[in-house]
Structure 1
Amino acid sequence: MKTLLALLTLCWSCAAASATPSAPSAPSIPYTLDNTEVRDVHATALKRDYQVFVALPDSYRTSTRRYPVVFVVDANYAFPVARNIASRLHRHAGMEEAIVVGLSYAQGDSGSYSRGRDYTPSVPRASATRYHSDMPGRAPAFGEAAAYARFIASDVFPLIAAGYRADMGRKIFVGHSYGGLLGLQVLLTNPRTFEHYILGSPSLWFDRGVMFDREQAYAAAHKEMPASVFFGIGARETLAPGKTRSRSKEQADMVADLREFQASLAAHRYRGLSTTVKVFADEDHASVFPLVFTHGLRAYLKSTK
């Protein structure tokens, strides 16, 4: 009987202990990147709101000098990558410091919807059923790259010039995939918008290769293209065996497209244009961006090592 009573007492004690509320855990603290800021920007002409992410160099608070500025699109992914690579290249490889500015997607839009509209140069021909919107009740939108480029120049540039010690004579554009198309739109419209372009895996297949046509049109009207351009792409961004190459996403050989585009630039012998194309072994469309960005910075920024 005593043994049974002891067991019942022990079970009651365990049950009471398990029913006792545990002490509340400490509130979680959001992770932030050092020396970064977020600024809200209203795109007046576009009637949309965006955010601009700004990463300042380590020495910014203790110096008085001005810094080159890196503008990177697809900022929700690319900004922390670019900011950290730029910082490491300075700290461990003696690379010149730079302000990194990330351009976010439009407020209220999904990333896919925002970039499809803002980064593409045209509305795709004969593709009404190929593209689908991930925004319920909204049809896919394309072809506003020219307007978005004007937003960068008219709204973002003045914000950065007024708010930071930025050397606006040394501006670098960084874009990958659709972002690379946006960079080409700027290059073939007003190349002086940026001094250096880092273009990774540009989607040259888009709209049946419309950028090839636009480069030919630019060449017919211009003899110069004052800019330096670093093109980078993964060696695996080629056409799958058994497929015939075409100007379509499904049958595009992106490496061949890029080499063809570079060859056309070279054939036109634009005054003031310098280009580099680098194909990164064993990399594909998803993995190549950090390498493109690293080598693209090295092609332009100064280094002490």
Structure 2
Amino acid sequence: MKNVLTNEIPFTITGTKQFTFESEKNRLYQILVFIPNEAPPETGFPIIYLLDGNSIFGTVVEAVRIQSRKPEKTGVIPSIVVGVGYPTSEPFSKERFYDYTMGEPEIEIPANKMDGATSQRHGGAEEFLRFLQNELKPAMEQTYPIDQKKQTLFGHSLGGLFVLHTLFTSPTSFQTYIAGSPSIHWNQSIILEEERLFHQLCETGEIKANVLVGIGELERWHHTNVGELAKSMVDRLSTRSRLKVEFIQFENEGHVSVLPPLISRSLRFALQ
């Protein structure tokens, strides 16, 4: 039989690029970027920033590529996708524990604090948010045609916690916030205090944002109580008239398997 597996070459997703970005704090990030093949609108493309970019960039890009072919039917328009990841071949990096969590920096996380976690430093969320705001976003805006009025931040688990932290402490940074299975239980008193201050800020009537929180149905029985904590927070946020808030529980999905359906729903929520 003739061997047809010849001329092997690496496979890449059309329209994607990869960069190494060294922050002012000498942190290295792997930045993955997808640019649509279409001509940009006069206002520029919408842009979606993904946390844990190593794990979900390809899934989001292919969903955008396929669904934006017929936006009149899918509600998804061509958009730039930016995956913020780390220089590793693994889907997740231990560095995420520092970047996505609040608290006193440099303190180590106890090994039993979260499933699968070894002792890691945490508390770098403010530093990471400054990196996004002052370094990465300006670099993207100088390089690509971006609609600065249509920016989305997407995160899952600890990334979802960081999305809520950004909403509460810097609500004008993005227009749409997607928090999947957010780890609200992590140093819970901090995120709840940030939420309390955010509600006070909303009293001014100047805060406007789109917020989607999604969980898997099977997470209702997770020992961290992620489902109930997320639903309770959404109920409180829904009382704010200038916030468009949506909560979705995906049937028969768990903490990790919820990602593909959450991504698909998030695109319609963010890009319609």
Same fold per superposition (TM over 0.5): yes
Query: Partner residue of 2:227?
Result: 255
Structure 1 residue 233 corresponds to structure 2 residue 212: no
Structure 1: gaps of 5 or more residues: 1-24, 241-250
Task: Map residues 114-193 of structure 1 onto 2, 5 A cutoff.
Answer: 114-123=95-104, 128=110, 130=112, 140-193=120-173
Q: Cα 1:123–1:26, aligned 2, differ >3 Å: closer, same or farther?
A: farther
Q: Cα 1:43–1:127, aligned 2, differ >3 Å: closer, same or farther?
A: closer
Q: Determine which of 82, 89, 94 is the counterpart of 1:101.
A: 82
**3-state DSSP class of the match of 1:167?**
strand
How many residue pairs are counted as aligned between the two chains?
261
Q: Cα 1:193–1:208, aligned 2, differ >3 Å: closer, same or farther?
A: closer
The whole-number CA distance in structure 1 between the counterparts of 2:137 and 2:214 is 26
The whole-number CA distance in structure 2 between the counterparts of 1:99 and 1:64 is 12
The whole-number CA distance in structure 1 between the counterparts of 2:8 and 2:145 is 34
Kept in 2, the 8 Å contact 1:41–1:49? The answer is yes
Structure 1 residue 290 corresponds to structure 2 residue 252: no
Deviates more, 1:164-173 or 1:104-113: 104-113
**3-state DSSP class of the match of 2:220?**
coil
Residue 130 of structure 1: how far off its partner (Å): 2.7
| Identity of matched residues, % | 26
Letter in 2 for 1:261: M
* Deviation readout 1:101-153 (Å, 9 max, x if unpaired): 11012679993411111011225999645359x99xx9611111111011011
Kept in 1, the 8 Å contact 2:55–2:91? The answer is no
Kept in 1, the 8 Å contact 2:54–2:90? The answer is no
Residue 299 of structure 1: how far off its partner (Å): 1.6
With normalisation by structure 2, the TM-score equals 0.85
The whole-number CA distance in structure 2 between the counterparts of 1:126 and 1:54 is 32
Query: Partner residue of 2:28?
Result: 49
* Deviation readout 1:195-227 (Å, 9 max, x if unpaired): 111111101111245312321233245524321
| TM-align CA RMSD | 2.9
Residue 59 of structure 1: how far off its partner (Å): 1.1
| Greater C-alpha Rg | 1
Q: Cα 1:106–1:292, aligned 2, differ >3 Å: closer, same or farther?
A: same
Structure 2: gaps of 5 or more residues: none
* Deviation readout 1:68-111 (Å, 9 max, x if unpaired): 00111101111101101111111254421101111012679993
